[in-house]
A and B are shown apart, each in its own frame.
Chain A
Amino acid sequence: MTSVRVFFVGGLMSFRALFNWMNPWIFVPTILLGPITQILLFAYIGRAAGVGDDEFFIIGNALNYAAIPGMFAMTFTIGGERFAQTLGLVLVSPARRVPLFMGRALPVILTGWGTAMIGILSGVWVLDADIAAGAWPLVGLVVAVGAFATAGIGLVMGAINLVWRDGATLGNVVFLVLLVFTGTNVALEDLPAWMEPVGRCLPLTHAIEATRMLADGAAWGAVSSLVALELLIGAVYVVLGLVALRWLEDMSRRHATLDRV
């Protein structure tokens, strides 16, 4: 029961703290404007280059933007605790680590999902693209899996943030790697050959591919293996993140570097 409380209450409080507790205004530029403007940028690049269609760029960039809350929020839940000098208190508490950190991931996954869905909906509306009405429920499901996978890599980054202080730089670097390698704006087969295997190991690649197929009218059976792979990749990153958290927490205790800012 305590773990359930830590999971839900702890996670929610940590998430609210990320946004200065009660100020929803920060959502506007970070969660609403960001995906729309990135979608518009690449949709117009695509139009100028005569490559792809608007729907291709809407889906790619909306899902890519799900990585922003997925990675930054997870990283800053640890960085923020350190900045507020409460990280030591969190880590000496007897709370179990899995509900403690996964509870912080849950609102992040929901936000990532919401960000990507807002991006897709507004992209479709602004650019007058067309996604079949029947495809939306499955699109929503696949986007949720993608958001989970990005929270997984965010957990790994949060762990790294225990010893590497500059979470903002790290988050941006990983976000940019996802932008270039996951087929966000160029189909994997059109990327240089060496980039595809890298992209296949990253979150979002398979979710983006599956969402595009669903939007083009594919049935669930055609995309289920891609979604399963995305889920597996997300789970691997979550496990990696939890293991790294335990290991790096021990290391930062041994070297007394936990509160160093």
Chain B
Amino acid sequence: MTRLRQLLVCYRLQLRVMMFSPFEGFLQVFFPLMFATAALLVYRVNNDPAAMLYAGIGAAAMGIWTSQTTTAATLVQRERWAGTLELVVAAPTPFAFVVLPITFGMATLGLYSVVAVILWDWWLFDLPLQVESWPGFVLSILMATFSIALFGFLLSVTVVRYRTAWALGSALEYPGWLLCGFVVPLTVLPGWTQPLSWALAPTWGVEAMRDAAAGESPWFALAMCAAVGLAYAVLAAWLGERLIDSARRHATLSLT
């Protein structure tokens, strides 16, 4: 019960902090919105309704990925700059339980951008979302959000020793949009990229969204999305503890 309360309080506080930050609250919605616009402007040239719908569904989810890349990469660094990293590490609460609610807060902001892009596509491109199974579609979005939050958790602990992690996080933005098939069918990409795409949970999340929208069963893709996401969580929890221990041993925790 105490653990659940800690998670909820941390999630709520971090979400409020991020909502009031122009960089996180505004830009995390505006950035994918404009890239979705650029992508749909390309698709609009040939005005193929099927291609537009395909891109429109994937474009809606781009923001969830954006919500994690730059901000999750700088998560630990921001605690370090604020002088609170030592407190977080020294607290009896496991490090993972502090980081996870933050990445889930970030992913929640990604959900704002899903709604914003869907409405934007409808208004600007006259592209109403055609979904056969709304429950499946909503569940797919939530699963994509959940798994991307877990990816953010993994990313945040992986880059903990990289001083300019924000740049690395930013550099992941476009490859993620490409490899996860947000706006490009994976069949267009070179064959050797397929295993990379399968190892990225959003690939399955976006596929589940498209399956649900087309009236097909999204369950296999949803299960894969959950499984890959949970693998991220296990790896991140293990890696996080090891890196923290190492930083404490070498007294490098607060080095910026």
Closest to B178 in A: A41
Main secondary structure of the interface of A (DSSP, over half): helix
Shortest beta-carbon distance from B27 to chain A in Å: 5
Given A29-B168, A172-B27 in contact, is the A49-B46 Cβ separation under 8 Å?
yes
CB–CB B38/A42 < 8 A: yes
CB–CB B184/A44 < 8 A: yes
Set B30, B163, B170: member contacting A176, Cβ < 8 A: B30
CB contact list, B216-240 vs A, under 8 A: none
B9 contacts partner chain A, Cβ-Cβ < 8 Å:
no
CB–CB B45/A179 < 8 A: no
Q: How far, in whole Å, are A184 and B41 apart by their CA atoms in the complex?
A: 11
CB–CB B174/A48 < 8 A: no
Q: On chain B, which size bracket covers the interface?
A: 35 or more
Q: A45 — which chain B residues lie within 8 A by C-beta?
A: 39, 42-43, 55, 183-184
Interface segment, one of A31-39, A148-156, A221-229 = A31-39
CB–CB A33/B171 < 8 A: yes
A98 contacts partner chain B, Cβ-Cβ < 8 Å:
no
Q: A179 — which chain B residues lie within 8 A by C-beta?
A: 34-35, 38
Shortest beta-carbon distance from A59 to chain B in Å: 15
B22 contacts partner chain A, Cβ-Cβ < 8 Å:
yes
Given A49-B42, A51-B46 in contact, is the A44-B23 Cβ separation under 8 Å?
no
Q: How far, in whole Å, are A184 and B184 apart by their CA atoms in the complex?
A: 18
Closest to B171 in A: A29
B95 contacts partner chain A, Cβ-Cβ < 8 Å:
no
Given A25-B164, A48-B185, A176-B34 in contact, is the A41-B174 Cβ separation under 8 Å?
yes
Q: On chain A, which size bracket covers the interface?
A: 35 or more
Given A20-B163, A26-B167 in contact, is the A180-B27 Cβ separation under 8 Å?
no
Shortest beta-carbon distance from A111 to chain B in Å: 14
B189 contacts partner chain A, Cβ-Cβ < 8 Å:
yes
Given A41-B178, A169-B23, A176-B31 in contact, is the A186-B45 Cβ separation under 8 Å?
yes
Shortest beta-carbon distance from A212 to chain B in Å: 15
Set A37, A177, A185: member contacting B42, Cβ < 8 A: A185
Shortest beta-carbon distance from B255 to chain A in Å: 13
* Apart from the given pairs A37-B178, A40-B174, A177-B34, 18 other A-B contacts in the complex at a CB distance below 8 Å: A29-B168, A30-B167, A40-B175, A40-B178, A41-B174, A41-B177, A44-B188, A45-B42, A47-B184, A48-B184, A49-B45, A50-B46, A51-B42, A168-B27, A169-B23, A179-B35, A180-B34, A185-B38
Seen from chain B, the residues whose Cβ lies within 8 Å of a Cβ on chain A are: 22-23, 26-27, 30-31, 34-35, 37-39, 41-46, 48, 51, 55, 163-164, 167-168, 170-171, 173-175, 177-178, 183-185, 188-189
